[in-house]
A = this chain, B = another copy of it.
Amino acid sequence: MQRKDRLPRPKRAPGMTPGTLVIDPSWPKPVIQVIAYGPDQFLEKRIGDVRELDGLIGKYPVLWVNVDGLGDESVLHHLGQLFKLHPLALEDVVSLRQRSKVDDYETNLYTAMRMLYLQDGKLFSEQISFFLGSDFVLTFQENEGDCLDTVRDRIRKKGGIVCNMNADYLLYSLIDAIVDAYFPLLESYDARLDDMEELILKHPDSSSVALLFDVKRDLMTLRRTLWPVREMASALVNTSSPLITQPTRIYLRDCQDHAIRLLDLAETCRELDSSLMDFYLSTISNRMNEIMKVLTIISTIFIPLTFIAGVYGMNFKHMPELETRNGYFVVLGLMAILGFGMFGLFIKKGWLTPKRKLRRLHK
């Protein structure tokens, strides 16, 4: 897939008239693609002037108008009038911060979704808006390039049943394509966590915290993106709008199932991530404790020995031991006994657990 730019999201001034379109000058100009089809009709073209659309309305069983780029207010207003879109829905199209949702405007149904991309290890999202009418689907995207080409191909090749169904089945096909595109993304996080578990078990390293934290943050975003998707799918299945026909609802129920599985997967990843964090923290603290213990034991053995050496380094005139012939060797011997004795005691008490025991249990 081609490289995506994350567009600037201009802020709305609080209290602005509802329905005002706030458009950033850097946004790409709209590119309009039309696919119109029916059981035995097919038309596909790129449209330069939005007014070319006027003649196409009502001519085909299903008319799909895809608009890539939102950088021209007049085009949006023209489309709004042509398809009788509510000003609030048009405002939502350009606000670019929508949660997935369904709004029923009686003559048409507005649906917002987010497409997720992982680019250079960063997760970001693009908004896609759908309008479903009785014989048209309108889609608005921030940028060119999407995951809907498989649907376009199916229409072109008359694959599947899409050409024999109404516009609502097209809406389903598009939403389904986007929902399916979440799976590889989530599975990549799942795989990353598996790798990290291996890593933590083998080389517990303080860098893992930062990585786990990054993954956690992305998973938080994912969950916040996926919860509304589930609600949206459920709203589409149960909507009272006659725009969604009964056969399509069975397909949408399948889509809702996928959304539930996605959420499940995201939750599993989140739990795994925080379990790994705990596991890492206890591993690293164990390791640190082991090191400090070994170091302290070394000091503890040598400090009493140094004391003994200090005693015989005193300059008292009268110290009988100093005069004896073997005093030095006796003291050296005593020191050796004391040192090895303490070492032995520490081992016996289990304060110096050999690492082998640990490894045996992991097999």
Contacts and interface: CB of A to CB of B under 8 A. Distances in A.
A224 interface: yes
Nearest to A280: B282
A332 B309 CA distance: 13
A12 B324 CA distance: 83
Interface stretch (A23-31, A69-77, A125-133, A200-208): A200-208
B322 A315 contact: yes
A300 B309 contact: no
Contacts of A296: 292, 295-296
A7 to B, nearest CB: 17
Interface string A306-337: 11011111111111011111111001100100
Number of copies: 5
A147 interface: yes
Contacts of A97: 261
B312 A314 contact: yes
Contacts of A277: 278
Give the interface size bracket for A toward B.
Answer: 35 or more
A304 interface: yes
A178 B306 CA distance: 70
Given A180-B12, A313-B315, A209 B257 contact: no
A11 B254 CA distance: 17
13 contacts: A103-B253, A207-B362, A220-B272, A281-B282, A299-B300, A305-B310, A309-B311, A312-B315, A312-B316, A315-B315, A316-B327, A317-B323, A318-B326
Q: 8 smallest A-B Cβ distances: which pairs? A: A15-B150, A309-B310, A14-B180, A15-B177, A17-B160, A207-B361, A312-B314, A14-B181
